[in-house]
Structure 1
Amino acid sequence: MQRSAPRLTRILAAAAVPVMLVVAGCSSDTGSGSGSGDTGAAQGKATATAAATPSPTPTVEPAKFAKLPPACKAIAAKTTASLVPKAKNEKGTAAASTDLSHRGGCSWNGLEDKGVKGSQYRWLDVSFYRYDSEVSLGSGQARAQENFAKELGKIQATTGAKKMSTTSTTGVGDEAKTVTYTVKKTGEDFVYASVVARTGNVLVLLSYNGAGYAGAPTPDAKKIVAGATKAAKEAVAAVAAANK
C-alpha cells in the first residue's frame, strides 16, 4: 500500500496536464476576440466622423446688377426728341409691369407732318429684363446670355420681314446684335432696326422704326440703324448708372 501512493500521485499529475493546456488555449482565444472588438470600435468611430462632416453648400456667381433704371428716363430727352419728332408723349409711355425691379419698358411714337412733302412716322421703344442668380437656375449672367439668344431668335422670326440682316454691334454692353429688316404695313414699307444687348445680368431690347406717308420717302436704313445704336448705348449706360 505504501508503494502505490507515489504511483497515484504520478497518474493525477499526468491527468492534470491536458486540463491546463485547454485552459491556456481558451485564454488565448479570449485575447484574440478582444482585439476584434477594438477594430470594430475604431471603424464605428470613423463612420460616425464621416457622417458628421457636412456636404459643401452649392454656390453660384452673384448677379452683377441689382436694379433697373426708370425706363422712360433711360434714354436722354434730346435723343428721343431727335429720333421721334412730334412725339405724342415726349416723356414716353411706360409699359405695364408688376415688378419694376426685374422688367420695365417705355415707348415713344409720333407723326411729323411736312405738308406737301408728306409725313414721317417714327416709333422707338426700349425694354429691360434683369435676371437674378439662383442655385437651381444658374447665375444671372448665364441666364441673361441664354435669353439673349432666345430674344434674338424671336426678332429673326418676325412674320413678313424682308431684307433681314443680323450684325454684331460693338461698344454696346458685353454683347449686342442688330437686326435690320422691312415690313409692309398700312400700305407702306416700315424700316426696322432692333438691337438686342446684354450688360451683365440685364438684357436691353431696343427697336426703332419708321415709314413715310403721303408721298414722303421711305426712311434711310442707315439712319434708322444709327439712331437705334445711339439709343441702345444710352440705355445700357443707364443700367450701370442705376447701380452706382
Structure 2
Amino acid sequence: MHRTAPRLARVLACAVVPVMLVVSGCSSDSDSGKKSESPAKTGDSTQGDGSGTALETPEASKSPEVEPAKFAKLPAACKSMPEKTVKKLVPSAKKKNGTPSRTSDTMSRAGCSWNGLDDNGVKGSQYRWLDLSYQRYDSETALGESGAARAGETYQRELAKAKATEGAKKLATAPLKGVGDEASTITYQLRKTGEDFAYVTVVSRVENVVVSLTYNGTGYAGAKPPTVADLTQDAVGAAKEAVASLPGANK
C-alpha cells in the first residue's frame, strides 16, 4: 500500500503533461492560422474610402501656386497728374485739383477728372475734358489666377468698351509701346451738343493694374476744333505719367 501511492502520483503527473502540451500546441496553431495585415504604406498620395475609390490627400488637393500681385496700392488719382500737365491739357479747368471718382473700394479703384472751357472772346472757346482711372487686381489662389492675368482680362474689356462707343466715327485702334506691359490707343470723332468732338482713349496694363485715360475736346463759337492727332500726343504723355506714379504709391 505504501508503494502504490508514489506510483499513482507519478502516473497522474504524466497524464497532466500531455494535456498542457496539447493546449499549448492549439494556441500556437490558432495564432499562426491568422493572416497578417500589411501596414499602410506611408507617403501615398491617395487613400481608400472603403469602396475601392482613391481619395486625394490634403497634399494632393492643394491649389496651384500663383504669382503674387506686384502692386498692393493705388496712387491718389487726382495727384498722379502733375499740375503742369493738367494746365496744358485743360487750360481753364473748373477744379485744378480735379474731381475724384466715387468708389467704395479705394484699394482696388481710383479715378479723377478735369474739365473746363477756355474762353478766347471773339476767337471762340476751347473745351477740354480729361478722365483718368485705375483698376487693381489681387491674385486669386483658389482660382489659380494671378493679379496680372485678371488685369489682362479687364484690359481687353476696356478696349472693347471704347471701340463700342455709340455714334463713333473714324474709329481707329493702334498698339502703343512704352506705356506699361501692354497698351493701345483708340481714337474717334463724336458729334455732341452740335459740335464735333475728337476723342483719344489710352488703355494700358501695368502688372496687376489697368490704367485708362480719356481725353477729348472741341471748339465753340467759331473756334477750330482740335484734331485727333492734336490730342493723341498729349493723351499718351499723360498716360505715361499716370503709369509712372504706380511704383511711388507702393514704396
TM-score normalised by structure 2 residue count = 0.80
| Structure 1 counterpart of 2:103, from 97, 101, 117 | 97
Q: How many aligned residue pairs are there?
A: 214
Deviation at 1:33, TM superposition (A): 4.5
Partner of 1:142: 149
Which residues of 2 match residues 1-244 of structure 1 at below 5 A? 33-34=33-34, 37-38=35-36, 41-42=37-38, 44-46=39-41, 51=47, 54-56=58-60, 57-58=62-63, 59-137=65-143, 138-244=145-251
Q: Which moved more, 1:216-225 or 1:117-126?
A: 216-225
Deviation at 1:220, TM superposition (A): 2.4
State the identity as a percent.
55
Structure showing the higher helix proportion among its residues = 1
Q: RMSD in angstroms over aligned alpha carbons?
A: 2.3
Q: Which moved more, 1:136-145 or 1:158-167?
A: 136-145
List 4+ stretches of structure 1 deviating above 2 A: 29-34, 46-54
Alignment gaps of 5+ in structure 2:
1-25, 48-55
CA distance in 2, matches of 1:84, 1:53: 61
Cα distance change of structure 1 residues 48 and 185 upon mapping to structure 2, 3 Å threshold: closer
Alignment gaps of 5+ in structure 1:
1-25
Deviation at 1:116, TM superposition (A): 1.3
Aligned AA for 2:234? G
SS state at 2:166 partner: coil
SS state at 1:191 partner: strand
Deviation at 1:53, TM superposition (A): 5.7
CA distance in 2, matches of 1:118, 1:63: 49
Aligned AA for 1:70? A
SS state at 1:205 partner: strand
